[in-house]
């Protein structure tokens, strides 16, 4: 984005300006103008993306961006990830949704408007990585809500349905 390189240019200039000088104030103003431009460009891009995405998907599944923000009790253990998450799915949804922020909010209302839906899933279930031995394979997940590690040295199974 050209606005961002422009901003970086002004920020470099700022270092060479004396504090409280008129020139410095000018540069600061230019930077804040660029900041709001950058924010607008991002917002437009998000709007465009969510509209397109919503048009082409009936169900959108958003994964967990920040699993550490989930309370440990809700996340469960690696051996038994399924049950507790299910019990607290409302809470998880709220947390996951927060992680997606504006993007999740836009996708939700656009999906609602089109009669689709947005679902939130914690990483443990959307991933093809075994949480026990970290073996990665699409075959680990033969159905969307079951996980069965195909590694011969591992017996990990989970069902979140
Ligand atoms: Zn495994």
User: pLDDT (tens digit, 9 = 90+) per residue, 45-70?
Assistant: 888 888 988 888 887 777 654 433 33
CA 160 to ligand 1 centroid distance, Å: 16
Residue 26 pLDDT > 80 = yes
Please check whether residue 99 is in contact with residue 42, taking contact to mean a CB–CB distance below 8 angstroms: no
CA 66 to ligand 1 centroid distance, Å: 22
Are 72 and 114 members of one domain?
Answer: yes
Domains contained in the chain, number = 3
Are 37 and 93 members of one domain?
Answer: no
For a pLDDT cut of 70, what percent of the chain falls above it? Answer: 71
Are 109 and 153 members of one domain?
Answer: no
- Residue 35 in any domain: the answer is yes
Query: Which H helix or E strand runs over 150?
Result: none
- Residue 50 in any domain: the answer is no
Are 88 and 137 members of one domain?
Answer: no
- Residue 52 in any domain: the answer is no
Task: Write down the pTM of the prediction.
Answer: 0.46
Are 112 and 61 members of one domain?
Answer: yes
* Domain ranges, residue 39: 1-44
Pick the closest to residue 35 from 70, 15, 6 (CA basis): 6
Rounded-to-10 torsion of CA 42, 48, 50, 54: 180
CA 21 to ligand 1 centroid distance, Å: 63
CA 1 to ligand 1 centroid distance, Å: 42
pLDDT digit string (tens) for 118-133?
877 665 445 677 778 8
């Amino acid at each position: 984005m050209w606005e961002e390189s422009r901003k970086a240019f002004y920020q470099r200039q700022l270092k060479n300006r004396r504090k409280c000088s008129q020139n410095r104030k000018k540069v600061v103003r230019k930077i804040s103008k660029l900041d709001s431009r950058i924010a607008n460009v991002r917002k437009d891009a998000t709007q465009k993306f969510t509209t397109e995405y919503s048009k082409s998907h009936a169900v959108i599944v958003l994964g967990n961006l920040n699993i550490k923000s989930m309370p440990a009790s809700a996340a469960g253990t690696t051996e038994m990830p399924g049950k507790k998450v299910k019990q607290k799915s409302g809470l998880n949804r709220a947390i996951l949704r927060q992680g997606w922020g504006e993007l999740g909010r836009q996708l939700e209302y656009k999906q609602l408007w089109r009669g689709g839906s947005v679902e939130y899933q914690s990483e443990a279930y959307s991933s093809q990585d075994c949480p026990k031995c970290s073996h990665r394979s699409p075959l680990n997940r033969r159905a969307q809500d079951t996980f069965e590690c195909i590694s011969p040295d591992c017996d990990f199974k989970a069902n979140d349905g």
